[in-house]
């Protein structure tokens, strides 16, 4: 079979990839081995991510660091849960490497192919029959006295919150240098459409279809109930300044964390990079929502 994907990289769940799946690192080895054998039969050369190889003990395959995979491979298969995909997606965004998610974890909004049907689903994709799904990501910086002291990418969300303190934080929010609001709350979530089904959803934010080029600003337990989620253009620059409150912090996809001081500003813009997901022909985002949120249950 002729395939446009000659060199395929496999990524498995391992401890540093986050908490998006329910399986342990060691249990993903047999799943990766089964997928690797299938890919070889389809005429693909299989490469293992170095961290995956180290944590699973799989041998007999070429091993590459993530940066080299981004430059040399044609496709990445991520086996795990959404936390695994978040970590890999951020690292490979600059390379534009297309990614396919095979669910070996819990929920799986991004790793949406069930492991027990991966052969049937991957076969036509490897022939070039697929839907492409492009996701924007955020670039976030923490500015302290005018200097950048921390920066990170986020596929899901940037969250400024009160940390371990029992009190609220007061945040001053501007959009493109125009004042939006001051709010006292447990925090504020800025979510991409990808992240609109994560923490933002739990805080009462709306679900954004990935084709909508916007960010969600969702307050966490606001003191004033009229502080409601709002959707703004993804090309805007959002600034959150910490006015008061103890032990404030910011996290990025719940994986990178930094402490904040009064006067610190978290500046969020759209990254120049994007993440490319591949899905089987006929896939729609609505199918994923119905399946993952159980919207089809209880009907007549």
pLDDT digits (tens, 9 = 90+) for 40-61: 999 999 999 999 999 888 899 9
294 token code pair: 């159980």
Span 1-25, average pLDDT: 66
Q: Say whether both 117 and 142 belong to one domain.
A: no
Note the pLDDT tens digit of each residue in 179-198.
999 999 999 999 999 999 99
Q: Say whether both 147 and 85 belong to one domain.
A: no
In a domain, 284, yes or no: no
Check if 253 is active-site.
no
In a domain, 288, yes or no: no
Q: Say whether both 119 and 158 belong to one domain.
A: no
pLDDT score recorded for residue 297: 65
Note the pLDDT tens digit of each residue in 212-260.
999 999 999 999 888 999 999 999 999 999 999 888 999 999 877 889 9
Radius of gyration of the chain (CA): 20
Q: Which single residue is written with the structure tokens 């990254």?
A: 271
More confident residue, 274 or 16: 274
Q: Say whether both 56 and 146 belong to one domain.
A: no
* Residue 21: pLDDT band with limits 50, 70, 90: very low
pLDDT score recorded for residue 294: 85
Q: Say whether both 154 and 188 belong to one domain.
A: yes
Which residue range forms the structural domain that includes residue 152?
Answer: 137-272
Note the pLDDT tens digit of each residue in 121-149.
999 999 999 999 999 999 999 999 999 99
Q: Indicate the DSSP class of residue 16.
A: G
Span 79-83, average pLDDT: 89
Which residue in 49, 74, 82, 287 is the catalytic one?
82
pLDDT score recorded for residue 15: 56
Q: Say whether both 119 and 188 belong to one domain.
A: no
Q: Indicate the DSSP class of residue 94.
A: G
Direct distance between the N- and C-terminal alpha carbons of the chain, in angstroms, rounded to an integer: 44
In a domain, 22, yes or no: yes
Q: Say whether both 87 and 176 belong to one domain.
A: no
Span 3-28, average pLDDT: 66
In a domain, 163, yes or no: yes
Span 280-292, average pLDDT: 90
Q: Say whether both 268 and 144 belong to one domain.
A: yes
In a domain, 287, yes or no: no
pTM of the model: 0.89
Q: Say whether both 153 and 251 belong to one domain.
A: yes
Q: Say whether both 151 and 46 belong to one domain.
A: no
170 token code pair: 């007061």
Give me the phi and psi of 39, to 5 degrees please. Answer: -60, -40
* CA atoms of 40 and 131, how far apart (whole Å): 23
Q: Say whether both 185 and 146 belong to one domain.
A: yes
The answer, yes or no, to whether residue 164 has pLDDT greater than 80, is: no
The answer, yes or no, to whether residue 2 has pLDDT greater than 90, is: no
pLDDT score recorded for residue 19: 37
Residues 6+ apart with CB under 8 A from 166: none
* CATH number assigned to the domain comprising residue 12: 3.40.50.10330
In a domain, 300, yes or no: no
If one counts the domains in the chain, the total is 2
Domain end position, chosen among 102, 128, 154: 128
In a domain, 293, yes or no: no
Domain end position, chosen among 128, 151, 178: 128
In a domain, 286, yes or no: no
* CATH number assigned to the domain comprising residue 192: 2.60.200.30
Domain end position, chosen among 106, 128, 150: 128
Q: Say whether both 145 and 247 belong to one domain.
A: yes
The answer, yes or no, to whether residue 299 has pLDDT greater than 60, is: no
* CA atoms of 43 and 125, how far apart (whole Å): 13
């Amino acid at each position: 079979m002729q395939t446009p994907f000659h060199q395929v990289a496999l990524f498995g769940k391992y401890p540093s990839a986050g908490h998006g799946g329910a399986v342990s690192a060691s249990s993903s080895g047999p799943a990766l081995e089964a997928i690797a054998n299938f890919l070889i039969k389809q005429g693909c050369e299989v490469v293992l991510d170095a961290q995956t190889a180290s944590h699973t003990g799989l041998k007999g395959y070429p091993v590459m660091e993530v940066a080299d995979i981004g430059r040399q491979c044609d496709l990445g298969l991520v086996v795990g849960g959404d936390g695994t995909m978040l970590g890999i997606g951020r690292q490979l965004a600059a390379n534009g490497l297309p990614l396919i998610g095979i669910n070996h974890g819990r929920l799986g909004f991004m790793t949406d192919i069930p492991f027990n049907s991966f052969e049937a689903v991957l076969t036509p994709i490897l022939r070039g029959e697929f839907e492409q799904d492009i996701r924007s990501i955020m670039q976030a910086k923490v500015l302290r006295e005018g200097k950048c002291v921390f920066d990170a990418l986020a596929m899901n969300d940037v969250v400024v919150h009160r940390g371990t303190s029992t009190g609220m934080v007061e945040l001053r929010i501007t959009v493109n240098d125009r004042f939006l609001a001051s709010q006292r709350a447990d925090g504020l979530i800025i979510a991409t459409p990808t992240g609109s089904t994560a923490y933002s959803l739990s805080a009462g934010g709306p679900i954004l279809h990935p084709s909508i080029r916007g960010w969600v600003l969702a307050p966490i337990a606001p003191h004033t109930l009229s502080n409601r989620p709002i959707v703004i253009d993804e090309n805007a620059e959002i600034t959150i300044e910490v006015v008061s409150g103890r032990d404030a912090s910011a996290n990025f996809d719940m994986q990178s964390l930094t402490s904040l001081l009064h006067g610190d500003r978290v500046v969020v813009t759209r990254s120049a990079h994007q993440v490319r997901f591949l899905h089987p022909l006929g896939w729609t985002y609505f199918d994923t929502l119905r399946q993952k949120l159980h919207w089809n249950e209880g009907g007549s």
